Amino acid sequence: MVSVFGLDVESEAPLPFLAGASAGPTGRRLELSLQAADAAALDWPRSARLVCDERQPNGEAIFSIEAHSEAGFLISGPEYGAFQLSADGRRLQCAPGAVPRDAWQRLLIAQVLPFAAVLHGLEVLHASAVVTDRGAVACIGPSGTGKTSLALELCRRGAAFLADDVLALELAEESLLAHPGAPVAGLDHAEAARLADTDGAPRYVVLARNARERIVRMSGAAAPAPLVALFFLDRRDDVPGEPRFEPTADPQLLLAATFNTVLTPPARLRGLLEVCARVARGRVERVAIGPGVDAAQLAAAITQRLGGAR
C-alpha cells in the first residue's frame, strides 16, 4: 500500500510512478486492479453519458470521461488505456491493453487518482507544492509558467517536495492539509538540461520520457502539511527587474485552478467553495514575473518573501 493524494492505494501490480511514496495511511482506501486486456474487457454500460472530451488542437483525442450512476466513471484515451473507477472512489480497474506502462501510469497520476481523491471528499487544485519549515507552499498558474521548475528550485534550497501539478487538499479543523502527491515530477527537457550537473550527469533518476518531458523520481514528503501560502505565477512581458508580489483576493484565481469540473453535486460544490474560502483567508499573492527571471531567481525571491523559510 502507498498513500498519495490523500488516498491509500492498494495494488498487487507494480506501480513505478508511486514507488517510494512515504506518507502514512489516511484511512481512505482505493483498491486498484490491473487487467491484462483493454477497455473491451471492462463491464462498462453502453448507456453511460459522455461528460468530458479532451482533444488536441488538431482534433485528435487525448482522453474522455464517461459517467454512469451505478458503474461509476470510465476515463480512457487512445494513448493511455482505460480506467473504470467506482462511483464511491474505492475501486479502480486499469485496462491499458497494449499501451506502454509509462503512458498509462502517467494518466493514472495526472487524472485518475486525483479524480478518486475528489470522490473521497478532498479538493484538488492544479498546483505544485513543497513543504518548508513553516508549512506547505503552493504555486498555481497557467501551463508554462514554471510551477514544476520553481518547486524543484525550492527543494534545492531545503524544502521537501510535496506535489507536482496536482495538489490534494483536506479541510481540517484549524487548517487546510496539503497531501503528498506521487513522488515524481514532469520536467521539460530544457529545464532538465539547465539542472544538469557541471559534468553533464543528470540530477534526477529518469523514470520515463516523451517528446515533451521527462518523468523524474522525487523524494516525497512523509506527511501532509498545513497550507500556509499560495502564489499565483503571472509571467508577463511588461515586468522589468525583480518579481513583484501583491496580495490578491480575486476568487477567480482559485476557482480557475480547480482540477475537476466534472463532479458537480451540491455537496462537492460546497466543499470546493469552503476550500477556496479557507485558502483566501490565508496568504495568497500574485507574483508578476518578467521574461528575464528564471526559476532560481524566482525561488530566491519567494524564499525571501517567506522570511527565509526553508
Q: How far is CA 108 from CA 53, 143, 253, in A?
A: 17, 19, 26
Average pLDDT value for residue range 166-194: 88
Q: Which grid cell is 126?
A: 492544479
| Residue 39 confidence (pLDDT) above 80 | no
115 vs 263: CA distance, rounded Å: 9
Closest to 209 in 3D by CA, of 231, 238, 184, 174: 184
**Domains of the chain (ranges plus CATH)?**
2-120 (no CATH), 125-183+218-305 (3.90.228.20)
Closest to 263 in 3D by CA, of 89, 98, 99, 139: 89
Q: What single-letter amino acid sits at 239?
A: V
- Cα end-to-end distance, the chain, whole Å: 30
The sign of the torsion formed by the CA atoms of 250, 253, 256, 257 equals: negative
pLDDT at 35: 85
164 vs 183: CA distance, rounded Å: 8
pLDDT at 147: 92
3-state DSSP call for residue 296? helix
* Contact criterion met (CB below 8 Å) for 207 and 256: no
Average pLDDT value for residue range 131-144: 92
3-state DSSP call for residue 169? strand
| Residue 125 confidence (pLDDT) above 80 | yes
Segment 49-103, tens digit of pLDDT: 999 999 999 999 999 999 999 999 999 999 999 999 999 999 999 999 889 999 9
Share of the chain above pLDDT 90, in %: 64
Question: What number of residues does the chain have?
Answer: 310
* Contact criterion met (CB below 8 Å) for 209 and 200: no
pLDDT at 198: 42
Rounded to two decimals, the pTM is 0.93
pLDDT at 51: 94
| Residue 196 confidence (pLDDT) above 70 | no
Position 143 confidence tier, pLDDT thresholds 50, 70, 90: confident
Segment 211-230, tens digit of pLDDT: 788 899 998 889 999 999 99
The sign of the torsion formed by the CA atoms of 302, 161, 252, 284 equals: negative
